[in-house]
Structure 1
Amino acid sequence: MTETPATGYDGLSSRSVPEAELREFLLDCFGIAEHELFIGHRDRVAEDLRDVPPEVVFAAFCTYQQVTGHFAMDFDVGIEGRLADRVGRREFAERFAARFGAYVLYGEAEPPGLWTVILADGSRLRVAMEEREDDRSVLQAATAPVPGLPGVRVDESLWRIR
């Protein structure tokens, strides 16, 4: 039997989620115990791990930071393969979006330059995004309207790009 390799689920959220709420979500989503999770702001990881013995391995390791543009938060969750078996990348994005009433951008198998956005109601859009030098992530086009972003051009042809 082959083990699923460790992986990472990263994305952008339209809502900035407080760390305590993010912690609760990750524990519930992956069904893990508190001691199996590390969560911290990307700028403070070394400081937060200062007193953790180097041999400690976390089943889920999450960092986050605030961003600008059409998104408020960037997150990165490294997980053991057993957790990927429990919750896939798309399911993770769907649960995150529903739990926090946000739209979530993530990538899985889209053509280069395109991404998937999951809306809070579970609908899925394909989008084109511009990542600017000032760390702003701005949606350029989407296959359907994005709630709260009337300026994003609707282009259904994004689904046809392979």
Structure 2
Amino acid sequence: MTQAQATGYDGLSPRLIAATELRAFLLGCFGIAERELFVAHENQVTEELDDVPPDVVFAAFCTYRQVPGHFAMDFSVGIEGQLAARVGRREFAERFAAHFDVYVLYGDAEPPGLWTVILADGTRLLGAMDEGDGRYRLCAVTAPVPGRPEVPVHEDLWQLR
């Protein structure tokens, strides 16, 4: 039997999701038990793991942090291989966007400098982002992003594939 390797699903959300909401979403999304999931703000990981035995392995390990710009939250979900086979990167982003009614920026197989943006309705866009001054800002997208009319639309980004 071939087992999928562990991987990570990273993304940006325009809304800061409370840890309890994030936990409930991840449990349902991956179909795992409470004991198989770790969720914490990136500055509280050590504290949260203080009472966890060192030999415990989580099927999903999620950290998040607040960020400025067009996004409010950066999240990182490390998952074991069987979960990656169960829910792919794009499907995860689609579920996240739909569940929280937000757009999500994530990376998969885009050309350098571009990212995929999934809207709450499942629409997939390409986007370019500026991370200057520690702020995460969309600087171009292939179609309008709800709530971000100031972001220029450049349909020609698709030609960079």
TM bucket normalised to smaller: over 0.9
Determine the C-alpha separation between the residues in 2 that align with 1:54 and 1:127.
Answer: 40
Distance 1:50 1:35 in 2: 15
Q: What is the RMSD of the two structures over their aligned residues, measured on CA atoms? A: 0.7
Given residue 147 of structure 2, which amino acid in structure 1 is its aligned partner? G
What SS does the aligned partner of 2:136 have?
strand
1:149 counterpart residue number: 148
Q: Which runs of 5 or more structure 2 residues have no equivalent in the other structure?
A: none
Q: Which amino acid aligns with 1:54?
A: P
Which residue pairs with 1:83 in the alignment?
Answer: 83
Helix, strand or coil for the counterpart of 1:146?
A: coil
**Aligned position for 2:56:** 56
| Aligned partner of residue 144 in structure 2, secondary structure | coil
Percent of pairs identical after alignment? 70
Q: Distance in 1 between matches of 2:66 and 2:119?
A: 19
Match of 1:94 in 2: 94
The within-5 A match list for 1:13-162 is: 13-133=13-133, 135-162=134-161
Q: Which amino acid aligns with 2:49?
A: L
Q: Which runs of 5+ in 1 are unaligned?
A: none
Size of the aligned set, in residue pairs, is 161
- 1:2 deviates by 1.7
Q: 1:7-58: per-residue Cα shift (whole Å, max 9, x none)?
A: 0000000111111010000000000000000000000101110111111000
Deviation at 1:148, TM superposition (A): 0.8
Cα distance between partner residues in 1 of 2:33 and 2:110: 33
Greater strand fraction, Structure 1 or Structure 2: 1
The one-letter code sitting in structure 2 at the alignment partner of 1:15 is R
Secondary structure (helix, strand or coil) at the match of 1:68 reads coil
Letter in 2 for 1:159: W
Q: Distance in 2 between matches of 1:157 and 1:81?
A: 36
Shift of residue 132 of structure 1? Answer: 1.6
After TM superposition, the score normalised by the length of structure 2 is 0.98
* Counterpart-to-counterpart distance in 2, 1:61 and 1:130: 27
User: In the aligned structure 2, how far is the partner of 1:132 from the partner of 1:62?
Assistant: 25
After the TM superposition, which parts of structure 1 deviate over 2 Å for at least 4 consecutive aligned residues? none
